[in-house]
Amino acid sequence: HRLEVDFREGLARGEFELYYQPLVDAVTQQLRAMEALVRWNHPDKGLIAPDRFIAMAEDTGLVGALGEWILQTACAEAATWPDHVKIAVNISPVQFRKTNLLDVIMCALVDSGLPPERLEIEITERVLLEWQADHLSILHQLKNLGISVALDDFGTGYSSLSYLTTFPFDKLKIDRSFTRDLLARDHCGAIVCAIVNLGRSLDMLTLAEGVESEAQLRMLRAAGVDQVQGYYIGRPAPARDLVFETGRRQ
Ligand code: G
Ligand code: G
Ligand code: MN
Ligand code: NA
């Protein structure tokens, strides 16, 4: 309960901050997008990671206010970046189900002037678990606006692949557990290759998460993954620390 009170006050006091992590082309290393990752600078407890407060925000309904702040802030920030760099924003399943997501997204785009083509939303398979007609309708409306939709943490959780034929995702983000075990376990390479082929057949980009070494990057490239993300490519950093080269990130 204490955390919940702190959370309400923290939102009002501007204690939340977005960090940004690069998503790059696997071959050319060209910057494609930045993923917004929320952090909480707690006055006493220091920097708090989202897995400590997102669930609480979902349970208390505060995820609506937090999600709105995140979308507004991420779009406003991205509007100042080079045109070819997209902004990827995580949408929690509860935010997806219980809030007026389309309105909130439209407002963030209008207020920031960010073209919809530069916004990518990331949803997890958890959203699809309670798949309903209006979820599908929201996703289709987002796509019709030009916003892209990525399926986050792909390959974990709910292994039904049938929803891939129900909705045309733009990107499959291969969960970092597959990247982590690439060198240690043979079958992980096979799974990554299978997902890459699946993506190609369904006309979806593939991205490998959690790339932490050159060896992993080389294997992912060989497997034909389109994009990569991870500490080896770039760590999440606050907006003030971002540096953009023209078309390239060093
Ligand atoms: O950034 P970090 O690795 O600590 O994130 C941990 C988890 O929190 C991840 O599952 C990530 O998707 C989630 N997360 C990070 N930022 C956001 C956000 O802005 N909104 C939502 N809904 N989840 C986020
Ligand atoms: O669930 P989602 O993919 O949105 O989670 C993203 C989280 O993964 C971020 O909070 C980020 O801190 C974390 N992350 C990003 N790159 C790496 C990495 O290379 N290794 C590990 N272990 N975590 C990472
Ligand atoms: Mn994500
Ligand atoms: Na992920």
Q: What's the pTM?
A: 0.95
Residue 172 has φ and ψ, to the nearest 5°, of: -110, 120
DSSP letter, residue 19: E
Q: What is the pLDDT of residue 159?
A: 58
Q: Which residue intervals of 36-82 are DSSP H helices?
A: 54-60, 63-78
Q: What is the pLDDT of residue 123?
A: 94
Let me know if residue 247 belongs to a domain.
Answer: no
| Ligand 4 centroid – CA 153 distance (Å) | 4
Average pLDDT estimate for 97-105: 91
Å from CA of 4 to ligand 3 middle: 24
Specify the number of domains making up the chain: 1
Report residue 246's pLDDT band, with 50, 70 and 90 as the boundaries: low
Domain-embedded: residue 23 = yes
Distance of CA 121 to the CA centre of its chain: 6
Q: Is residue 249 part of a domain?
A: no
Q: Encode pLDDT of 12-71 as tens digits.
A: 999 999 999 999 999 999 999 999 999 999 999 899 989 889 988 998 889 999 999 999
The mean pLDDT of the chain is: 92
Instruction: Return the best residue to mutate from 23, 38, 48, 58 for the ligand 1 pocket (most ligand atoms within 8 A of CB).
Output: 38
What tens digit of pLDDT does each residue of 156-215 get?
876 568 888 888 899 999 999 999 988 887 777 899 999 999 999 999 999 999 999 999
Q: Which long-range contacts (CB under 8 A, 24 or more apart) does 184-193 make?
A: 189/219, 189/223, 191/155, 192/219, 192/220, 192/223, 192/225, 193/223, 193/224
- High-pLDDT (> 70) share of the chain, %: 96
Ligand 1: which of 37, 48, 173 to mutate, most ligand atoms within 8 Å of CB?
Answer: 37
Q: Who lines ligand 2 at CB under 6 A?
A: 21, 37, 90, 152-153, 176, 209-212, 230-231, 236
Distance 18 CA to ligand 4 centre (A): 16
**Secondary structure of 107-139 in HEC code, one letter for each residue:** HHHHHHCCCHHHEEEEEEHHHHHCCCHHHHHHH
Query: CB count, 10 Å around CB of 197?
Result: 13
> pLDDT tier at 128 (50, 70, 90 boundaries)?
confident
248 domain-assigned: no
**How many Å apart are CA 223 and CA 216, to the nearest integer?**
11
Percent of the chain topping pLDDT 90:
71
Tell me if 87 sits within 8 A of 119, measured CB to CB. Answer: yes
Residue 48 lies in a domain: yes
- What pLDDT sits at residue 247? 47
Give the pLDDT of residue 3: 83
Q: Is the confidence at residue 130, as pLDDT, over 90?
A: no
Residue-range definition of the domain harbouring residue 180: 2-241
Please tell me the distance between residue 22's alpha carbon and the centre of ligand 4 in angstroms. 13
State whether the beta carbon of 38 lies less than 6 angstroms from ligand 1: yes
Q: Which ligand is nearest to the CA of 94?
A: 1
Q: How far, in Å, is the centroid of ligand 1 from the Cα of 52?
A: 10
Task: Look at phi and psi of residue 23 and say left if phi exceeds 0, alpha if psi is from -120 to 50, else beta.
Answer: beta
User: What are 18's strand-pairing partners?
Assistant: 38
In a domain, 246, yes or no: no
Note whether residue 250 is domain-resident.
no
pLDDT, average across residues 216-245: 96
Residue nearest to atom 5 of ligand 1 (CA): 50
Mean pLDDT, range 130-157, rounded to an integer: 88
Sorting pLDDT into bands at 50, 70 and 90, what band is 249?
very low
Looking at residue 163, what is its pLDDT?
81
pLDDT at 133: 74
Q: Note the residue count of the chain.
A: 250
Indicate if the pLDDT at residue 131 is higher than 70.
Answer: no
ipTM score here? 0.96
Confidence check: pLDDT of 232 > 70: yes
Q: What is the CATH number of the domain that holds 24?
A: 3.20.20.450
Position 160: which residue type?
Answer: S
* Whole-angstrom Cα Rg for the chain: 18
**SS3 annotation, 145-185:** HCCEEEEEEECCCCCCCCHHHHCCCCEEEECHHHHHCCCCC
Q: What distance in Å separates the CA atoms of residue 208 and residue 179, rounded to the nearest whole number?
A: 7
Does residue 28 fall inside a structural domain? yes
Lowest mean pLDDT among 85-89, 99-103, 128-132, 244-248: 244-248
